[in-house]
Structure 1
Amino acid sequence: MSPRRTPRATSAELLSTLRRLAAQTREGVEHQQARVELAEALQRELLPASLPVVPGLRAAARYAPARHGLDIGGDWYDGFRLSEGALAFSIGDVQGHDVEAAAFMGQVRIGLRAVASVVDDPGEVLTRANEVLLAMDRELFATCTLLRFDPETWEIESARAGHVPAVWATVDGRCGIAEDAGGPPLGMLPGGGYAVTRRRIAAAGSIVLLTDGVVEGPAFPLDEGLERVVRVVREGAGTDPEELAAEVMKVADSTGHADDAAVLVLSHDGPERAGTSRDER
């Protein structure tokens, strides 16, 4: 007895199947594109339209979306005025991507602004922001650097929450990576403390805050990326911050990164004052 043969599909049936699969694929692509566009819109609306400046201090920023559509929304930069003329700047990276990360990024950024408006110490700002995020009971967390600049004393206070260190350089040739003590990422562990590093600016130069998408990728590791940024900042210290931000972002292009990337540049003059502390830049 010969085996029973399965009837072959007709041409009409094959065409019908192909149309159905094509429609499903098109719907999936359109859905993904809609989520990408929503994430990009959130990113544009949540990032600041401008950054604060004072005489002797100029700021500029750059943001580059990820190379893959849905990997967008986690990185941010910000700058805002505080009481008594001080300025605050922050940069950070939310774990995860897509619309949820963009929305969480906005919550973190607004939370930092709110706390910094009533608390001067950057470490205490991060501590309280961490408590707020933990109370929200979200599964996401964020790394962050918060910097406070006093234009009267030319003192900078900074605190880090698991974030990439800043890079600095002065016009007289000094440069380095600010490997300051920090604490855990925001929204991860209760009771975390955040050490504050205080420095007084003594010479013209630039400070560059960035996210790991700028300095880490398949092409080279984070340490090498940071050293490349140091060389760029040393050559451009004290120059126009817009130009320097663009040059630093070129490092991100060379990493082959799939993550989004953000750069925040503070170019400063040297204060016209005497008496400076030993740890000044």
Structure 2
Amino acid sequence: MLRRRPPRSASADDLLTTLGRLTAQAREGAEKQRARVELAEALQREMLPARLPQLPGLRAAATYAPARHGLDIGGDWYDGFPLPDGSLAFCIGDVQGHDVEAAAFMGQIRLGLRAVAVHAADPGEVLSRANDLLLSVDYGLFATCTFLRFDPAGWELTSARAGHVPAIWATTDGRFGLADDPGGLPLGIVPGEEYPVTRRRLAISGAFALVTDGVVEGPAFPMEDGLTQVMRLVRANAGSDPAAVAAAAMSVAELTGHTDDSAVLVLRFDGAGGQEWVKRERGARVVAGARPPALSDG
């Protein structure tokens, strides 16, 4: 009686061929993903401003870092530009999602904010108009944002938040805090949203730092811990160059795991020195009186 050998499901050559085909498909997919990530990062860096506006007594610096593993790129941005009345505008934000689409949407938001800021009375109106503008194009994404306006006439900083991470402030006399101001929903969610405005007079030298959530939050790192770390570092560097403050704040992203892209924007302001410049250059618009003892809301 003849015994038949059981048929093999596949020869060694067949298995090698299949493995080679699957490897090639995986490599092609990885190359496409890498190309999309590289494009998103290129778009991100090209659309961020090459420089930020400055004034005597007020210097600004910012830094951006992509995700450590190159997967979550494209959503974070910062910007700064002069306004027609002589004030300066600054903003920072984070688009929902990542990759090329988020980078493109980020560019639209930056342009939209610049366009509406020219005709808006304060940061709250800027965010409200930008929100309605974004909803009108029906892009399907949303973004958090903080918008600032610095008025050199009164050495005043006004701000509004659209669902964004609170800012951190510190003065050179050792005081510091979290600017957890009232805010509204992220941009691109609900039409007609209103954004409360907070006013601060920069009476004593210090720093005002804005971050995106990639700096202060990670899969196993709570945002509260990240904000505490940034506050400690901003306080320790409040009298330093703004670039040094920004670099110190960005270092916290290493603690969070750096799984998301990250941005930091820092305003480094003088108190008395800035006020002396304002009085010399724009004295007619300065109201005389004693300066408050610290950075204060008003």
TM over 0.5: yes
- 1:8, CA displacement in angstroms? 3.9
For structure 1, the 5+ residue unaligned runs are none
SS at match of 1:253: helix
Counterpart CA distance in 2 for 1:180 and 1:120 is 19
Match of 1:58 in 2: 59
Match of 1:275 in 2: 290
Q: Which amino acid aligns with 1:131?
A: D
- 1:191, CA displacement in angstroms? 1.6
Match of 2:286 in 1: none
CA gap of 1:3–1:127, structure 2 versus 1, over 3 A, is farther
SS at match of 1:168: strand
Please say which of residues 23-32 and 218-227 is displaced more in the overlay.
218-227
For structure 2, the 5+ residue unaligned runs are 280-288
| Residues paired across the two proteins, number | 280
Match of 2:24 in 1: 23
Match of 2:285 in 1: none
Counterpart CA distance in 1 for 2:80 and 2:185 is 22
Alpha carbons 2:203, 2:294 under 8 Å: kept: no
Q: Deviations over 1:73-97 (max 9, x none)?
A: 0110110110121100000010111
Match of 2:86 in 1: 85
Alpha carbons 1:79, 1:89 under 8 Å: kept: yes
| Identical aligned residues as a percent | 66
CA gap of 1:182–1:150, structure 2 versus 1, over 3 A, is same
Match of 2:215 in 1: 214
Matched, 1:146 2:161: no
Alpha carbons 1:229, 1:251 under 8 Å: kept: yes
Please say which of residues 7-16 and 146-155 is displaced more in the overlay.
7-16
Counterpart CA distance in 2 for 1:130 and 1:89 is 17
| Superposition map of 1:1-281 within 5 A | 5-270=6-271, 271-272=275-276, 274-276=289-291, 280-281=295-296
- 1:113, CA displacement in angstroms? 0.6
Give me the TM-score of the superposition, normalised by structure 1: 0.94
Q: Deviations over 1:190-216 (max 9, x none)?
A: 121000011111010000011111111
SS at match of 1:60: strand
Alpha carbons 1:219, 1:254 under 8 Å: kept: no
Counterpart CA distance in 2 for 1:259 and 1:9 is 44
Q: Which amino acid aligns with 2:235?
A: R
Give me the TM-score of the superposition, normalised by structure 2: 0.89
